Amino acid sequence: MLGFYIITGKKALSLTAHASGDTMRELSRRDFLLGASSLALVPPAAQALAAGGRVVVVGAGLAGLAAAYDLMEAGVDVVVAEQAERAGGRIKTVRDVFDDGAWVDVGGQTSGPGYANFFYFATLFELEMEPQSVFRGRPEVLLDLEGALYTGSELRADPSRWPVDLHADERAAAPLRLLNQYLRPVAEEIGEVSRVLEPEFARYDEMSLAGFLEKAGASPAAVRLIGHTANYNSLETVSALSALRDAVRALFNAGGQALNIRNGNQALIDAFAKRLGDRLHTRCSLQAVSRNEAGVTLQFETQGKRELWEADHVVLALPFTALRKVRFEPGLPADRQAIIDSLPYTQVAQTYLQTTSRFWSDEDKVLAVYSDGPLERLFNASSRMQGEKGLLVNWVNGEGTSAIRGMDSKEQAEFAIRELERIWPGSRRRVEKIYTNDWGKSYAEGAYAHYAPGQLTRYARVIPEPIGPLHFAGEHTELVAPGMEGALVSGRRAAKEIIGSLAPA
């Protein structure tokens, strides 16, 4: 039987011991509580639940797995249906592609002090944590601007060398802290994520992030830089309040160590799957959901065959991009269908390049390259390599992926290599292994959700609400907690709704 949503002080100390090393600051109980958006929950004992309550969880990402696990532990008859051949959804660790023991998380990557439920399950399943990066001190950031390469340190030392026309007070913050410089004053006024929907902040939902920055006095050059480094499809298509919500959530992790599970976050998925056992069914694609007084009938396509599953409750832990393709009888309420049909998902294309050496710096202190060209961002992931070889990750977001969208893997790789060669002539011959990933071509049709102007205040409260026996989970349903933590919180919230309905009055 499960304990609490939140991790206890004793568990936190145990996790710190696993993570060990002087690069890791102590993760205290207070750290976990800061970011936990859920209340403590002890599920009712199995014998206290009403008999005959069968639950089908659709989607075996973190949200669906967490929901199924809590339901299983509470004694509920639960099964999980996943359309892919593997559990995990947008958690995916790629191993056995690169040399020297290197691995990469191409989906959900890091956690921090606010990830209470993530750490709870990692500790419960005895998974070790490690710092995401081994950089000590202040690593160098390179900027590819107007076709020339600069170091962040040289531009800080001599701001007159900036090749783009930033305001004087923008130069010290560019590029990494530039967006935060403009969002932080309002984010601090909001203070807590739970306040983001208060009426006094609604005006920010009516404007785009581009409009917010313009009104705040950002220079055109700053807006262009932010557009290449922000995690949205574009500054014009994301709500300013949505960006402020993300900024407030980030404050919970301020000063904390970025962590991942040792050898990749897929280990958490594998641990869930092992415990769920034969309750987990893969290659089951949901086609239709029919509700009546007797319960819910789910129509799946399973390896080319049509199957009907019966349930008393259903957890729909699918991205809205997938739910758009599902037929509901009767139809969903108009406001729910409207947000399902229109919620944006950020496009992300990644190219991982293993190199024969770390040619970009004598001391390998380069953290990232930020570009105002099509490259956008290039991260140094070489700390995962045990030898002299290097590993770079090209990360293109939003509108920038339009140049990649029609490409196959070989063409996407050539795109990244061509840009690498432009920055470091001769680097092409140093690339020896490549792995590409494009979340726009995945089942989710994007990496994660964000709100368009006007959507946050109108729909955020609606999205997680059950519709009779239908319960909704996934990172897109969680207002407060970010990323992987949001997915776990949402799944556990859906499980709590069902457990509560099955408990005797």
- Rounded CA-CA distance 353/420 in Å is 10
Please report the pLDDT score of residue 387 as a whole number: 83
Residue 449 is classified by DSSP as: B
Do 363 and 491 lie in one domain? The reply is no
315 domain-assigned = yes
Q: What is the DSSP string of 84-120?
A: SSSS-TT--EE-SSSSTT--EESSS--B-TT-HHHHH
264 with 306, same domain: the answer is: yes
Residue 293's contacts (CB-CB under 8 Å, 6 or more residues apart) are none
Q: Total domain count for the chain? A: 3
For residue 245, the domain's CATH number is 1.10.405
> Does residue 110 lie within any of the structural domains?
no
CATH number at residue 427: 3.90.660.10
Does 122 fall in a domain? no
End position of a domain, from candidates 443, 463, 491? 443
Q: Does residue 105 form part of some domain?
A: no
pLDDT at residue 25 tops 80: no
Same domain, 296 and 374: no
pLDDT at 162 over 50: yes
Report the predicted TM-score, pTM, of the whole model to 2 decimal places.
0.89
Least confident of 324-328, 405-409, 484-488: 405-409
Share of the chain above pLDDT 90, in %: 67
Q: Which amino acid appears at position 146 of this protein?
A: E
For residue 478, being part of any structural domain is answered with yes
Q: Which long-range contacts (CB under 8 A, 24 or more apart) does 496-499 make?
A: 496/41, 496/43, 496/70, 497/466, 497/471, 498/53, 498/55, 498/71, 498/76, 498/313, 498/315, 498/471, 499/43, 499/44, 499/49, 499/70, 499/71, 499/74, 499/76
Q: Are 78 and 223 found together in one domain? A: no
Residues 336 and 455 in one domain: yes
**Of 217-221, 236-240, 274-278, 377-381, where does mean pLDDT reach its minimum?**
377-381
**Cα-flanking dihedrals φ and ψ of residue 389, to 5°?**
-70, 165
Q: What's the whole-number mean pLDDT along residues 413-429?
A: 94
Q: Which of 407, 426, 443 is the last residue of a domain?
A: 443
Query: Mapping DSSP to helix (H, G, I), strand (E, B) and coil, where does residue 143 land?
Result: strand
Retrieve residue 443's tokens: 């089942």
Asked which of 251, 276, 311 is the last residue of a domain, the reply is 251
Q: What are 214-254's pLDDT values in tens digits?
A: 999 999 999 999 998 889 999 999 999 999 999 998 876 55
Looking at the DSSP assignment, which residues form a beta bridge with residue 309? 298
Asked whether 349 and 359 are in contact (CB, 8 A), the reply is: no
CATH of the domain at 336: 3.50.50.60
Q: Same domain for 458 and 326?
A: yes
Same domain, 245 and 389: no
Q: Is there a single domain that holds both residue 63 and residue 201?
A: no
pLDDT grade for 174, boundaries at 50, 70 and 90: confident
Same domain, 181 and 158: no
Same domain, 200 and 331: no
Dihedral Cα 266, 272, 273, 274, nearest 10 deg: 110
338 and 458: one domain?
yes
Domain assignment present for 299:
yes
Output DSSP code: residue 434: E
* Cα 256 to Cα 188: distance, rounded to the nearest angstrom: 18
Distance CA 132, CA 367 (A): 12
- 203 with 236, same domain: the answer is yes
Structural domain boundaries, residue 355: 134-163+346-443
